[in-house]
A and B are shown apart, each in its own frame.
Chain A
């Protein structure tokens, strides 16, 4: 079974600064997908960024980028130029598609607080 570990329960960053959220995972699979989801206080989960394991290039979405280290099974999220609206719970998630099954396995989350 796959497991996802987020070792930082809470983090804080000042507006306009950069913050990195850590995620490690455990799997014996070679082909899989990794995601970062954002869950603001209203609870609606939103996809932030996605990475395919077979791609060496790190994914980037505007101010969000990842550092994917396949050998180390590490998948960190970097948020540049942090904004107040980035305040949320961030979940790292793993998916190993099998046929039509597309189960996401989530970590326990990191609560990020962006301050003035």
Chain B
């Protein structure tokens, strides 16, 4: 079974530029998560999708971050415009269902550097 795929693996941009990350979850997984992991911190949930609907986006900075999950499969996370403090690793995870009984499987992440 293929794992969660993310691209690109690394991205360097100037502040005020735009950037997009892509995630392909494990086949059959209904729930998809985007986490932000700043250096020296644990991951922080940005948004959770159940199929193609948003379940929780309470910690997503909506003035600059947006995410979509068309057709309930792949997802993209966009930052527009980027700030220096957005430098982090962006992790995508997926699970078959939701809740504690449904293990979240993580992708390798995209390391974003904003200069």
Q: Give the B-binding residues of A (Cβ under 8 A).
A: 4, 33, 42-47, 50, 52, 91, 93, 95, 97, 99-109
Asked whether, in the complex, the Cβ of A33 is within 8 Å of the Cβ of B48, the reply is: no
Contact of A43 among B3, B48, B56, B109 (CB under 8 A): B109
Residues on B with beta carbons closer than 8 Å to the beta carbon of A52: 100
Check B40 for interface membership: any CB of A closer than 8 A: yes
Give Cα A52–Cα B48 distance, bound, in whole angstroms.
Answer: 22
Given A101-B56, A102-B98: 6 more A-B contacts, CB < 8 Å: A44-B106, A45-B91, A50-B100, A102-B31, A102-B102, A102-B104
Residues on B with beta carbons closer than 8 Å to the beta carbon of A93: 42
Residues on A with beta carbons closer than 8 Å to the beta carbon of B48: 101-103
Asked whether, in the complex, the Cβ of A106 is within 8 Å of the Cβ of B42, the reply is: yes
Check B45 for interface membership: any CB of A closer than 8 A: yes
Q: Give B42 Cβ to nearest chain A Cβ, in Å.
A: 3
Contact of B55 among A4, A45, A101, A108 (CB under 8 A): A101
Contact of B104 among A43, A97, A104, A107 (CB under 8 A): A104
Total interface residues in chain B, CB < 8 Å: 26
Contact with A along B1-15 (1 / 0, CB 8 A): 001000000000000
Residues on A with beta carbons closer than 8 Å to the beta carbon of B99: 95, 97, 100, 102
Q: Give A49 Cβ to nearest chain B Cβ, in Å.
A: 11
Q: Which of B44, B100, B104 has the most CB of A within 10 A?
A: B100
Give Cα A45–Cα B45 distance, bound, in whole angstroms.
Answer: 14
Asked whether, in the complex, the Cβ of A45 is within 8 Å of the Cβ of B43, the reply is: yes
Q: Which of A93, A100, A109 has the most CB of B within 10 A?
A: A100
Contact with A along B88-100 (1 / 0, CB 8 A): 0101010100111
